């Protein structure tokens, strides 16, 4: 019986080749597309899932400032963890991590610079799941000079010999003894140590001051008791901070806690440990995956039902020779399963071809190796069953209901039944396609807007050099460096900088205006700059003057504000206003005078509003040197810079970057979202058109006789093409009506992520709609013309 | 074998009731060869479909081997018609995607005949109808007469007690038609009851009784 069904199914597929190819390929492409996204999303969602205690671990982070100009640091201050563990009842334990991203490690004659050197409190292995393959979990880090390394690190330094008891030298000075080897940490984790040394040693090695004022280096994880509430934790941490510091400035510092499993989805924290993704993007991707699959399924159902209506005769016959309803349902259901499986094969082939490049695009190469895990297998199976059921059930149930008398007599015109359903399906498909087209257009419009807007500075032609970790030696050499750089032909301006647009790490300062009550503090981001900062970046001065060597006091007590800061501080006459800057160190509090106002410029991405900013002169805080250079000569200039650098700061590394690149990186993730949506929008349109092509071919086949008669009666080719296109045009237009409001809503939501954004614009809708219509008409027309130019005699001979 | 009492068949919409069959009383004994005749639209095919349990009467009673067909559910009907009844149509109605062999096999599949038995019966039938050479061809590779031959072979392969033939020669030219009629006659001699619908007096003469229908009424039963 089954072989009989199978034969009929396969012969049917072979006989209607175009139909079958369109149907199977369409579904295959759809499954492949949604699978590609699904695997990526599932992988992202599985971040940190190897941590067994993840539902009880949160990370405490510091928020500096309040309201618009606040920012969140991923890490906290050294005493916070121990204090929280000691004083807060819901905290069972606290683990602090410190990371050295460029640790020079040596063992014997091997020396490497390591980027994942962690210091951690000794209870780390009780709280976190880092399984040890050798060594004792309970006391591995008890000795301050002990260290646990990963398996691959053990192999890298000690080969096949047992690393336990061996010595690793940190920074050429400090000896550590290996007390344990842990399994390599999987790639989908935020916390990926390769070395874990004892935190107590870090105090000595990194000269940690156990102060509530030292911010932003201690990643503090709190292990909570079961059923502990996370809601009150931030305010409790704040109370803790105030209790321990007796500071009223506690009002400028607050805390937030993020559950371990959510850290990966909280972008925007300063000094984050690993890559983060935007949960909105994840939702968007999941939605697109789902939509593409739906389009493919609709297509499949549509084509299947259209064709199965032609098989009413077969159904009738089978009933006459004794088939029951159940048998027929199973037959059609089985056929849909066969086609789905064929599609799946195509999908897997496409997946294999595309996955490597797609995932490297997302910097998720590791996925390529791991996509065939249990998750994706289940997902695959779910997809097949879902599609087979959805696509098979309608024809199965509908056809098996036919009365054999009707179907044999031809009383039911094949195709007339289910026509409404097919219309609805085509409309739905095109609605989704148009929706995705509009979304693509809006995303690219926003990206364009960000690229072409006035940033307030000129990003092209600026080279940025990283100064080595600020030590007095480097600061002393800054002036020498600057002088040397200025002598290089093609270098136009040179300025030291505490920060630059698109570079993270701003300092935040509490300030208050002279004459105002002591209690009224305001938080302002500050950047340490040099005389030529404005000229180097081409910042626009709106009022007053730039820092100038003609005024010797500028280097001590002059500041520039940006427009937002002027508004924020409510200054009517900013020039000459005096700002009081308190300091914890006695005698260091200062009164600064505003000498000029700078036009607002984008220091971060367009997602964030340009906040209040204060520029002051302080070489001690420089982290970078920015140079405006003559762009065409950049390679020559950079090698000149390098040789000057190596003369003045021998033994330090010369790291340079271009400001324009760093800035463009800010919207790289938006770029990716855009490309992805555009790929899948085209996919949806393609599948939609394949469906349309199939349907038109089918309707032409069904109307061969009608077309023949019309031609005999004198209809022209264009009239016949118009006749065939009329319905489809109507449907695509209807699809637009549905897609527009949905797209308007969703794109506006997405744009709301940006503080500076483009408008959606009616033409985006119109163009997307017209594009979909054109593609549909070309599809319909190509089939229609073929039918219309056929010899009518041929068409009528069938009778 | 068959007893129809006061069978009526009508189609109704909101305004009119269109009668196809009216007050049909008919008895058919096993071994008869009946020809149903009448002008177009007189209800011949509908009568045949009702007897074949492909269609249900609007009113009246239908007993098949003394069992009340008009009271049966679909499952029982399917069971009954697939065991006892074979159909032959004017336009042959073979499954286009299946070969001659597979077309013959299909009724046996639905009767859950096991594979060996099936092979044997198909081979036997192919031989009996002298179409062994055609067994791997598809219907569209055969002439009309050959297709009808296969259709009849398919109708008899399940060894039905009753064969219902709806203008079996209607699409064939006279030589082919004659051959088919001889075949039916032969089957009847071997004991199969046959009811055929026909326009042709010549073909009707093959039977031993003619029922004439007009506007849904039995005009003559002799």
Does residue B15 surpass a pLDDT of 70? yes
Q: Does the beta-carbon distance from B110 to A7 stay under 8 Å?
A: no
**B102 to chain A: which residues are within 8 Å by CB?**
4, 7
* Closest Cα in chain A, distance from residue B72 (Å): 15
Please check the confidence at residue B203 and state whether its pLDDT lies above 70. yes
Q: What is the pLDDT of residues A645-668, one digit of tens each?
A: 888 888 777 888 899 888 887 777
Q: How high is the pLDDT of residue A629? A: 92
In angstroms, the separation between the Cα of residue A6 and the nearest Cα of chain B is 11
Residues of chain A neighbouring B111 (CB-CB closer than 8 A): 322
Q: Mean pLDDT for chain B?
A: 89
Average pLDDT of the segment spanning A664-693:
79
Distance from the Cα of B204 to chain A's closest Cα (Å) equals 23
In a domain, B21, yes or no: no
- Expressed as residue numbers, the domain containing B165 is 31-56+73-221
What value does the mean pLDDT take over residues A773-795? 79
Q: Assign residue B156 the CATH number of its domain.
A: 3.40.50.300
User: Which of A11, A316, A321 is closest, CB to CB, to B110?
Assistant: A321
Model pLDDT for residues A433-490, shown as the tens digit of each residue: 889 889 888 888 888 888 888 888 898 899 998 887 655 667 778 888 888 999 999 9
CA distance A318 to A313: 9
Which residues from B are below 8 Å from A313, CB to CB? Answer: 93
pLDDT grade, residue A799 (50/70/90)? very low
| Residue B168 is assigned to a structural domain of this protein | yes
Question: Looking at beta carbons, which residues of chain B come within 8 Å of A327?
Answer: 110
* Residue in chain A lying closest to B78 (CA): A322
Residue with tokens 């069959």: B21
Strands (DSSP E) contained in chain B are 2-12, 17-28, 33-37, 59-64, 67-68, 85-88, 162-166, 193-197, 209-214, 217-221
Nearest to B82 among A4, A7, A321 (CB): A321
Distances (CA, A) of A751 to A446, A453, A600, A606: 8, 16, 21, 11
Those residues with Cβ within 8 angstroms of residue A570's Cβ, 6 or more apart along the chain or in another chain:
none
Q: Which DSSP string corresponds to A140-182?
A: TT-STTEEEEEHHHHHHHHTTS--TT-EEEETTTEEEEEEEEE
Q: Which residue of B has its CA nearest to A8?
A: B97
Chain A residues within 8 angstroms (CB to CB) of chain B: 1, 4, 7-8, 11-12, 15, 313-314, 316-325, 327, 403-405, 408
pLDDT at A520: 62
- Which residue's structure tokens are 């509003």? A609
Contact yes or no for B96 and A322 at CB 8 A: no
* B88 closest CA partner among B108, B110, B103, B69: B103
Tell me if B26 is assigned to some domain. no
pLDDT tens-digit profile of A701-753?
A: 777 777 777 777 777 788 888 888 888 888 889 999 999 999 999 888 888 87
| Digit-coded pLDDT (tens) for A207-250 | 777 888 777 688 999 999 988 888 889 989 988 888 887 665 54
Mean pLDDT of A760-767: 88
Contacts of B88 in chain A (CB under 8 A): none
Task: Output A666 or B135, whichever has higher pLDDT.
Answer: B135
- Strand ordering across the sheet containing B209-214: B85-88, B162-166, B193-197, B33-37, B209-214, B217-221
Confidence of residue A798 (pLDDT cuts 50, 70, 90): very low
Q: What is the CA radius of gyration of chain B?
A: 18
Mean pLDDT of A57-76: 80
B2 within some domain: no
Shortest Cα–Cα distance, A709 to chain B (Å): 24
CA distance A710 to chain B (A): 28
How far is the CA of A528 from the CAs of A109, A562, A589, A620, in angstroms? 42, 14, 17, 8
Residue among B49, B82, B102 whose CB faces A322 most closely? B82
- A408 vs B89: CB contact, 8 Å cut-off? yes
Of A12, A314, A323, which has the smallest distance from its Cβ to B110's Cβ? Answer: A323
**Is B106 close to A318, i.e. CB distance below 8 A?**
yes
The confidence score (pLDDT) of residue A728 equals: 82
Torsion of CA A419, A420, A423, A429, to 10 degrees: -110
Q: Which residue of B has its CA nearest to A401?
A: B74
pLDDT of residue A60: 93
CA distances from A792 to A696, A713, A714, A781, A786 (A): 18, 10, 11, 18, 12
CB A684 within 8 A of CB A292: yes
pLDDT of residue A692: 78
Whether pLDDT at A203 is above 90: no
What is the C-alpha to C-alpha distance for residues A386 and A37, in angstroms, rounded to an integer?
Answer: 17
What is the pLDDT confidence band of residue A797, given thresholds at 50, 70 and 90? low
Looking at the domain assignment, is residue B173 inside a domain? yes
Does pLDDT of B18 surpass 50?
yes
CA distance B97 to chain A (A): 6
Contact B78 A322 (CB under 8 A): yes
Domain contains B155: yes
pLDDT digits (tens, 9 = 90+) for A98-144: 988 778 898 888 888 888 899 999 999 999 999 999 988 888 898 99
- Does B174 contact chain A (CB < 8 Å)? no
Is there a contact between B74 and A325 if contact means CB atoms under 8 Å apart?
yes
Mutate to test the interface with A, among B93, B99, B113, B139 (most CBs of A within 10 A): B93
Asked whether residue B95 is domain-assigned, the answer is yes
Closest residue on chain A to B95 (Cα): A314
User: What proportion of chain A, given as a percentage, has pLDDT over 90?
Assistant: 19
Nearest-CA distance A693 → chain B (Å): 24
In this predicted structure, the answer to whether residue A556 has a pLDDT above a threshold of 90 is: no
How many domains are there within chain B? 1
B89 neighbourhood in chain A, CB within 8 Å:
408
Provide the strand spans (E) within A452-540.
Answer: 462-466, 491-497, 507-513, 522-529
Smallest Cβ distance to A4: which of B82, B96, B102? B102
What pLDDT sits at residue A598?
A: 94
Per-residue pLDDT at A471 = 59
Interface touch B54/A313, C-beta < 8 Å: no
Domain layout of chain A by residue ranges? 2-44+279-450+668-797, 75-265, 469-652
Separation of alpha carbons B46 and B97, rounded Å: 28
Q: B42 near B17, Cβ under 8 Å?
A: no
A381-434 pLDDT per residue, tens: 777 777 788 777 777 777 777 777 777 765 555 445 567 777 888 888 889 888
Indicate yes or no: CB of B105 within 8 angstroms of CB of A321.
no
Residue B61 lies in a domain: no
For residue A319, list chain B residues with Cβ-Cβ distance below 8 A.
54, 78
pLDDT, chain A, mean = 82
Task: Give the CA angle between residues A440, A445, A451 to the nearest 5°.
Answer: 130
Rounded to the nearest angstrom, the minimum Cα separation between B84 and chain A is 10
pLDDT (0 to 100) of residue A155? 92
CA distance B211 to chain A (A): 22
Among B residues 61-120, those touching chain A with beta carbons less than 8 Å apart: 74-75, 78, 81-82, 87, 89, 93-98, 102, 105-107, 109-111
Return the pLDDT at A67: 57
Lowest mean pLDDT of A8-12, A771-775, B196-200, name the range: A8-12
Quote the pLDDT of residue A153: 93
Distance from CA of B87 to the nearest CA of A (A): 7
Residues of B in contact with A6 (CB under 8 A): none
Chain B 1-60, CB below 8 Å of chain A: which residues?
Answer: 49, 52, 54-55
pLDDT tens track for B32-41: 999 999 998 8
Residue B109 with chain A: CB contacts under 8 Å: 1, 4
Mean pLDDT is lowest, of A12-26, A70-84, A270-284, A367-381, for A367-381
Q: Using CA atoms, how far apart are residues B16 and B31, in angstroms rounded to an integer? A: 40
Asked whether the predicted pLDDT for residue A91 surpasses 90, the reply is yes
Lowest mean pLDDT among A350-359, A363-372, A629-638, A781-790: A363-372
Provide the 10 A C-beta neighbour count for residue A785: 15
Q: Among A7, A322, A404, select the one facing B110 at the smallest CB separation.
A: A322
Q: Which residues of A touch B82 (CB under 8 A)?
A: 321-322
Banded pLDDT at A171 (limits 50, 70, 90)? confident
DSSP assignments along B98-135, one per residue: S-HHHHHHHHHHHTT--HHHHHHHHHHHHHHTT-GGGT
From chain A, the residues in CB contact with B74 under 8 A are 325
């Amino acid at each position: 019986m089954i072989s009989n069904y199978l034969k009929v199914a396969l012969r049917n597929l072979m006989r209607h080749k175009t139909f079958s190819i369109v149907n199977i390929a369409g579904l295959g492409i759809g499954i492949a597309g949604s699978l590609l996204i699904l695997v990526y999303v599932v992988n992202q969602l599985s971040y940190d899932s190897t941590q067994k205690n993840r539902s009880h671990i949160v990370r405490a982070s510091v928020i500096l400032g309040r309201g618009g100009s606040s920012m969140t640091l991923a890490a906290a201050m050294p005493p916070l963890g121990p204090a929280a563990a000691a004083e807060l009842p819901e905290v069972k334990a606290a683990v602090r991590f410190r990371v050295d991203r460029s640790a020079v490690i040596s063992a014997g004659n091997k020396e490497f610079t390591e980027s994942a050197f962690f210091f951690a409190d000794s209870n780390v292995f009780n709280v976190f799941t880092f399984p040890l393959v050798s060594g004792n979990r309970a006391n591995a880090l008890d000795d301050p000079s002990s260290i646990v390394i990963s398996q691959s690190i053990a192999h890298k330094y000690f080969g096949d010999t047992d690393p336990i008891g061996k010595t690793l030298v940190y920074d050429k000075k400090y000896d550590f003894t290996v007390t344990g080897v842990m399994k390599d940490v999987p790639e989908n984790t935020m916390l990926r140590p390769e070395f874990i040394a004892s935190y107590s040693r870090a105090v000595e090695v990194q000269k940690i001051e156990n102060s509530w004022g030292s911010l932003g280096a201690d990643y503090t994880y709190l292990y909570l008791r079961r059923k502990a509430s996370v809601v009150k934790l931030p305010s409790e941490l704040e109370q803790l901070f105030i209790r321990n510091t007796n500071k009223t400035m506690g009002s400028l510092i607050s805390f937030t806690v993020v559950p371990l499993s959510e850290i990966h989805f909280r972008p925007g924290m300063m000094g984050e440990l690993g890559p983060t993704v935007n949960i909105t993007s994840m939702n968007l991707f999941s939605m697109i995956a789902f939509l593409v699959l739906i389009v493919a399924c609709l297509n499949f159902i549509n084509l299947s039902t259209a064709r199965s209506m032609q098989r009413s005769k077969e159904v009738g016959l089978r009933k006459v020779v004794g088939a029951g309803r159940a048998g027929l349902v199973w037959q059609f259901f089985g056929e849909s399963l066969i086609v789905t499986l064929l599609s799946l094969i195509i999908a897997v082939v496409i997946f294999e071809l595309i996955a490597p490049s797609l995932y490297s695009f997302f910097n998720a190469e590791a996925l390529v190796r791991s996509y065939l895990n249990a998750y994706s297998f289940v997902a695959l199976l779910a997809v097949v069953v879902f599609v087979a059921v959805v696509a098979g059930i309608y024809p199965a149930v509908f056809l098996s209901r036919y009365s054999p008398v009707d179907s044999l007599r031809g009383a039911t015109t094949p195709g007339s039944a289910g026509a409404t359903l097919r219309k609805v399906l085509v409309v739905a498909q095109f609605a989704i396609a148009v929706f995705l087209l509009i979304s693509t257009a809006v995303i690219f419009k926003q990206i364009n807007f960000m690229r072409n807007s006035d940033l307030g500075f000129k990003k092209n032609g600026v080279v940025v050099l990283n100064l080595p970790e600020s030590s007095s030696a480097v600061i002393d050499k800054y002036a020498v460096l600057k002088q040397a750089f200025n002598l290089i032909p093609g270098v136009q301006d040179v300025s030291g900088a505490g920060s630059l647009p698109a570079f993270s790490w701003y300092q935040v300062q509490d300030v208050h205006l002279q004459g105002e009550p002591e209690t009224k503090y305001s938080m302002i981001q500050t950047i340490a700059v040099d005389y030529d900062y404005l000229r180097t970046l081409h910042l626009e001065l709106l009022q007053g003057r730039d820092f100038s060597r003609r005024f010797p006091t500028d280097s001590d007590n002059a500041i520039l504000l940006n427009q937002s800061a002027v508004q924020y501080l409510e200054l009517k006459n900013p020039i000459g206003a005096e700002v009081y800057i308190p300091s914890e160190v006695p005698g260091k509090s200062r009164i600064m005078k505003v000498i000029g106002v700078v036009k607002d410029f984008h220091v971060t991405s367009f997602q964030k509003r340009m906040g209040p900013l204060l520029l002051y002169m302080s070489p001690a805080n420089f982290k970078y040197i920015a140079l405006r250079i003559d762009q065409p000569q950049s390679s020559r200039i950079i090698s000149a810079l390098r040789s000057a650098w190596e003369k003045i700061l021998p033994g330090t590394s010369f790291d340079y970057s271009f400001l324009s690149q760093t800035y463009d990186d800010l919207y790289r993730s938006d770029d990716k979202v855009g490309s992805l949506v555009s790929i899948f929008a085209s996919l949806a349109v393609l599948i939609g058109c394949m469906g349309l092509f199939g349907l038109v071919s089918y309707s032409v086949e069904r109307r061969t006789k009608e077309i023949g008669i019309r031609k005999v009666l004198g209809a022209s080719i264009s009239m016949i093409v118009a006749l065939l296109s009329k319905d489809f045009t109507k449907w695509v237009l209807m699809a637009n009506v549905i897609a527009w409001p949905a797209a308007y809503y969703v794109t506006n939501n997405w744009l709301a992520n940006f503080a500076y954004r483009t408008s959606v614009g009616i033409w985006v809708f119109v163009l997307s709609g017209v594009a979909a219509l054109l593609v549909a008409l070309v599809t319909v027309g190509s089939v229609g013309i073929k039918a219309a130019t056929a010899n009518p005699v041929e068409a009528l001979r069938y009778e | 074998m068959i007893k129809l009492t006061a069978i009526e068949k009508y189609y109704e919409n909101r305004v009119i009731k269109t009668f196809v069959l009216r007050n049909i009383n008919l008895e058919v004994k096993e071994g008869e060869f009946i020809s149903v005749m009448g002008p177009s639209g007189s209800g011949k095919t509908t009568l045949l479909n009702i007897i074949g349990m492909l269609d249900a009467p609007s009113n009246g009673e239908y007993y098949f081997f003394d069992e009340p067909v008009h009271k049966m559910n679909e499952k029982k009907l399917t069971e009954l018609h697939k065991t006892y009844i074979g159909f032959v149509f004017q336009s042959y109605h073979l499954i286009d995607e299946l070969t001659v062999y597979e077309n013959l096999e299909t009724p046996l599949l639905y009767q859950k005949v096991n594979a060996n038995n099936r092979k044997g019966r198909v081979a036997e039938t192919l031989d009996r109808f002298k179409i062994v050479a055609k067994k791997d061809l598809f219907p569209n590779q055969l002439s009309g007469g050959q297709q009808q031959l296969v259709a009849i072979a398919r109708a008899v392969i399940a060894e039905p007690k009753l064969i219902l033939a709806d203008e079996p020669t209607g699409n064939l030219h006279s030589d082919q038609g004659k051959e088919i009629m001889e075949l039916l006659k032969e089957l009847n001699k071997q004991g199969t009851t046959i009811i055929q619908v026909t326009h042709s007096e010549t073909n009707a003469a093959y039977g031993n009784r003619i029922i004439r229908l007009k506007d849904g009424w039995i005009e003559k039963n002799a």
